[in-house]
Amino acid sequence: MAKLPFVIEPRVKPIIEEVGSEESGKIQIERRGYLTSGEKAFFQQVKQSDQGTARLIGLSRKVSRSLGIEMPKAYEAVIRVLSGASASDEDKKIEEEFAEELSSVIQDLANGQASDELLMAACLLRYRIDAEIQMDEVMKLHPDIITGLASLYRDEENKVLERLETKEEQNIEKVVKKSSPKAPPTT
């Protein structure tokens, strides 16, 4: 990558993080404190093909036509019913009339959450370790590694800098200890 002409260098430097457990083994991956635009785009592109969200919108359209209400209101009602917070007669009608489809959408959304962790892990592995890694290889990884990578992805997405700053402080303390003169031995 080209060296950018920074006027002010980034405040924190990336560190190498270990992900995994004793049972799964551990891998090393870079923690940067952010996701690159490429990583974000990869996740969003694959996520857009998520069937759960598409089915939720499709069901909302059916509810909108069936009840004669606007699409945003139908979407909110479907979400209320799915979350168990339904209270109105309209919500009860949706529960009765669309019970089978609601169940199917719930299943799709649950599957989507499980696949999100795999997708997060694949994203970090592809962009930070090996650009040639395939999804079937990621799916064969131990769950501890998948969970650790997904956790790292979420931290990076939220720009969590605690681990980077802690590591930086530890490095500064080491440098200060090495450079400070040793006291003469007392006799």
Reported as a single tens digit per residue, the pLDDT across 117-168 is: 888 999 999 999 999 998 888 888 999 999 999 999 999 999 888 877 776 6
Residue pointed to by tokens 């006027």: 7
The tokens for 60 are: 């909302």
Residue pointed to by tokens 């370790």: 129
- Does this model's pTM top 0.85? My answer is no
Report pLDDT for 115: 79
**Cα separations (Å) of 182 from 88, 176, 179?**
76, 12, 9
Are the C-beta atoms of residues 59 and 154 closer than 8 Å to each other?
no
Question: 17 has which bridge partners?
Answer: 29
Residues 6+ apart with CB under 8 A from 137: none
Report pLDDT for 171: 58
Q: Which sequence spans correspond to the domains of the chain? A: 15-160
CB neighbourhood size of 179 (10 A): 7
CA distance 112 to 100: 18
Band (pLDDT 50/70/90 cuts) for residue 58 is confident
Band (pLDDT 50/70/90 cuts) for residue 43 is confident
CA distance 147 to 184: 50
